[in-house]
A = this chain, B = another copy of it.
Amino acid sequence: MPEQRNPHFEQAVRDSFAAQQLMATIGARLARVAAGEIEIRVPFRSDLTQQHGFLHAGVVTSALDSACGYAAFSLMPQGAGVLTLEFKTNFLAPARGAELIARGRVVRAGRTITVCQAEAYMLSDGTENSVATMLATIMTIRGRPDIVG
């Protein structure tokens, strides 16, 4: 019998995201939660920049990682914990613009390992420009009351 996905996944994602204090620190918000798909947005702020005035690669990666992790988590059973094993990010263009949009989706969800892919865009004058792409490996943790969400 296949394991049941968490029927309350949206609330579980929102609760866990709210517990990621870094997301509040960088001004990130959860813009969309669907089964296997997450969108996170981060308005540009000058205190998040690298030396040329663009968003730092670490900020772009923070949003991409959370988008991947919650895309995976949205398909996990109730009570599971989510853990990023590793990710790779390619930077395609300087992250300049008004708002960062990070969209993560599940490529393949296995019992223990989920592979996710995410894209980052900068929104400028209504146009989205691709700035980075991530490929990530996420693990489902079971039976660990200290690692839930």
Contact = CB atoms under 8 A, between A and B. Distances in A.
Interface in A58-101: 58-59, 61-63, 65-66, 81, 83-93
B93 A108 contact: yes
Nearest to A68: B57
A34 interface: no
21 contacts: A16-B51, A22-B50, A22-B59, A24-B47, A25-B25, A25-B48, A56-B65, A57-B62, A57-B65, A57-B84, A58-B58, A58-B66, A59-B62, A61-B62, A85-B85, A85-B137, A88-B89, A90-B107, A92-B108, A113-B139, A117-B133
Nearest to A117: B133
Contacts of A91: 83-86
